[in-house]
Amino acid sequence: MKAIVLNGHGGADALVYDENFPDPKCGENDAIIRVKATSLNYHDIFTRNGMPGIKIQMPMICGLDVAGEIVELGSKVSGWDLGDRVLIDPRNRVAGGLVGETIHGGLAEYCRVADHQLVKIPEGVSYDQASSLPVAYGTAHRMMVTIGKITESDKVLILGASGGVGTGALLLAKMAGAEVVVCASSEEKMDKLKELGADHAMTYMDNQFHKGVYELYGKPGRRGFEGGVNMVVNFTGGETWVPSLRALKRGGRLVTCGATAGFDPKTDIRFIWTFELQLLGSNSWEREDLTQLMDYIQARKMEPVIDKTLPLKEAAEGIRLIEDREVFGKVIINP
Ligand SMILES: NC(=O)c1ccc[n+]([C@@H]2O[C@H](COP(=O)([O-])OP(=O)(O)OC[C@H]3O[C@@H](n4cnc5c(N)ncnc54)[C@H](OP(=O)(O)O)[C@@H]3O)[C@@H](O)[C@H]2O)c1
């Protein structure tokens, strides 16, 4: 089959288009999916570069978010038919791996998955839309709703709002009725985020965005003088960490699920105790997050933000666009 193959860690050149990669073999509890759409994530860059503590057996096919149709079923699989439209939940807790990272993923014509990873795609939800969900929107749903408990009374600051997780966080915050301030690296991204519903937009490139928050809502202070936002969404880390603490009002919460710009930033503990801040971690998603999101799409309550769809051959270019911050929302590969 045709596939984008990682033979060893490295830069953009490490991903190679292979026309003769061996087809996957179906085990008795497996399904083979003809891949229709796979969305790219920042995670693919971490996998391509190599992450401390994660050993990847080469060659590896990246691509965590896979949607397609079932073309083969193992002898012990029940409840599914050939031709069913399915989304893959990339977590494989039985085998302990992650599809697209330690198990071959969706940047290929075919993908083998365990039957417990199959999620039905409802009528009215396209393959492209379904494939945009698990890593970005599933994570955003858990972070904003389950962990962050966002409500209409929240004022939320979202960093990295133009990316996959970021656009998901913005759409979910607006669905909850919150007031949303977004941070992005360019005027063009800020304008697009406002079109998506952001109430305010500002740059964070100078790491002074807490001052923008003070201009909007006043400076956080002691009881009775409470400016700032209630919630900051920060999966950027690095130099953005301390200004994020400074932007929060007394009792505010900072939710995080990642660290695109650095996982060991300087911090300032004084803000945490003085303003009784809560730091909340959130990791991945549960199956219910995916089914809930597909229900929202089906009911036309939510439309995932898709920037581009590209053919399989151009997957490495798609990953480059993400790395160089030239993307708004998701990039989808159609093998
Ligand atoms: N724990 C989990 O389960 C989980 C799941 C999904 C994602 N994550 C993490 O969440 C983060 C975002 O993932 P994603 O797939 O949404 O990424 P993405 O689509 O590339 O979006 C990231 C956004 O962050 C901004 N950014 C800030 N600093 C950046 C930098 N140094 N390099 C590149 N972009 C930067 C960019 O917007 P501007 O150009 O406007 O700044 C970009 O749009 C990643 O760190 C990822 O590993 C974690």
| Residue nearest atom 24 in ligand 1 by C-alpha distance | 160
**Cis link prior to 311 (omega < 30° from 0)?**
no
pLDDT score for 128: 98
Residue 121, classed as helix, strand or coil, is coil
Residues 142 and 276 in one domain: yes
Residues 74 and 207 in one domain: no
Cα–Cα distance measured from residue 191 to residue 115, given in angstroms and rounded to the nearest whole number: 42
Residues 224 and 208 in one domain: yes
Does a structural domain hold residue 296?
Answer: no
pLDDT score for 226: 82
Residues 144 and 272 in one domain: yes
**Nearest-10 crossing angle of helices 315-323, 42-49:** 100
CATH of the domain at 196: 3.90.180.10
Instruction: Name the pLDDT band for 102 (thresholds 50, 70, 90).
Output: very high
Residues 261 and 182 in one domain: yes
Model confidence pLDDT, tens digit, residues 10-67:
998 999 999 999 999 999 999 999 999 999 999 999 999 999 889 999 999 999 999 9
Main-chain phi, psi angles of 289, to 5 degrees: -60, -40
Smallest CA-to-CA distance from 233 within 305, 167, 153, 325 is with: 167
Residues 11 and 30 in one domain: yes
Decide: 182 and 318 in contact? Cβ < 8 Å.
Answer: no
In terms of C-beta density within 10 A (0-12 exposed, 13-18 middle, 19 or more buried), how is residue 276 classed? exposed
Residues 96 and 146 in one domain: no
Residues 259 and 326 in one domain: no
Q: How many domains does the chain have?
A: 2
Ligand 1 centroid, distance to 40 Cα (angstroms): 11
Which residues form the domain of 312? 3-132+305-334
Name the CA radius of gyration of the chain, rounded. 20
Four-point Cα dihedral 124, 128, 134, 138, nearest 10: -60
Q: Span 288-314, mean pLDDT?
A: 98
The pair of three-digit structure tokens given for residue 79, joined into one six-digit string: 């409840």
Decide: 142 and 150 in contact? Cβ < 8 Å.
Answer: no
Model confidence pLDDT, tens digit, residues 112-165:
999 999 999 999 999 999 999 999 999 999 999 999 999 999 999 999 999 999
The pair of three-digit structure tokens given for residue 11, joined into one six-digit string: 């830069």
Residues having CB closer than 6 A to ligand 1 are 41-43, 135-136, 139, 160, 162-166, 184-185, 189, 235-236, 257-261, 283-284, 322, 325
Does a structural domain hold residue 157?
Answer: yes
Q: Span 257-268, mean pLDDT?
A: 96
Residues 169 and 271 in one domain: yes
Residues 177 and 202 in one domain: yes
pTM of the model: 0.97
Does a structural domain hold residue 232?
Answer: yes
Does a structural domain hold residue 273?
Answer: yes
- Best of 139, 142, 325, 328 to mutate for ligand 1, by most ligand atoms within 8 A of CB? 325
Residues 189 and 55 in one domain: no
Angle at 332 between CA 327 and CA 333, to 5 degrees: 125
Does a structural domain hold residue 316?
Answer: yes
Residues 142 and 273 in one domain: yes
Does a structural domain hold residue 292?
Answer: no
Does a structural domain hold residue 287?
Answer: no
Ligand 1 centroid, distance to 26 Cα (angstroms): 34
State percent of the chain over pLDDT 70. Answer: 99
Question: Largest Cα–Cα distance in the chain?
Answer: 68
Main-chain phi, psi angles of 140, to 5 degrees: -60, -40
